[in-house]
Amino acid sequence: MRKDFYIFRHGETEYNRLQRWQGQGVDIDLNEAGIAQAKQLAVKLQDKGLQIIYSSPLKRALQTANIVANAKKLAVKTLPELTEGSVGDCEGQEREKIAQKYPEIWNIWYGDNNIMDIRWPNGESKQEIQNRMVSAFDKMLQIPETIIGVASHGAAIRYFLLKFGYGPHRITNTALFHLVYQDGDWQLAEINL
């Protein structure tokens, strides 16, 4: 059995533009630039043969998924496991202030991928985020569709793809990855299409 997953990050929000962390607790819509990015993403995905899209329930991912889906008249279903990682007490704060306040966590979070139990105060660890995303993909392996769009978030995608040797790269808005499952094996086929 083969399944193709086209995994994409949501379009830009005002918090992204202002370099403020959203995490799970800040749930806002795309801004105008983010809507335009999602429309461009829909064009990129036009010939991929998507049959369904699964999305994080957070507005920014769901709105991106719906823009992509509307171009092809596809169904969108939400999976809570696809939501962004919780950054706990850092949600809503500016990136620069977070880096200054927690330099040790910052350096490990973005640098050392061998330390998966690192977390922001009252947030999820990299490992917890990865485990949650793996659970989402295990669920999607059970559905009949074989070409699946997946709308998620920067940290969620980053630490999921780390499982396949990709990281610790920053995941830009509407970045697109092609992950293939075939006969028990996973392969990251294309990066940032």
pLDDT in tens, 83-104: 999 999 999 999 999 999 999 9
Beta-ladder partners of 20: 94
What is the distance between the alpha carbons of residues 121 and 125, in angstroms, rounded to a whole number? 10
State residue 193's pLDDT score: 61
pTM greater than 0.85 (yes/no): yes
Mean pLDDT for the chain overall? 95
10 is catalytic: yes
- Out of 84, 91, 124, 153, pick the active-site residue: 84
pLDDT along the chain (193 residues), means of 10: 97 97 96 98 96 98 98 95 97 96 93 86 97 98 98 96 82 96 92 73
**Residues 2-13: pLDDT tens digits?**
999 999 999 999
Planar angle of CA 182, 179, 193, nearest 5 degrees:
145
3-state secondary structure of 152: strand
84 is catalytic: yes
Residue 56: name the closest of 87, 13, 17, 23 by CA: 23
- Out of 10, 91, 124, 153, pick the active-site residue: 10
Residue 116: name the closest of 48, 167, 69 by CA: 167
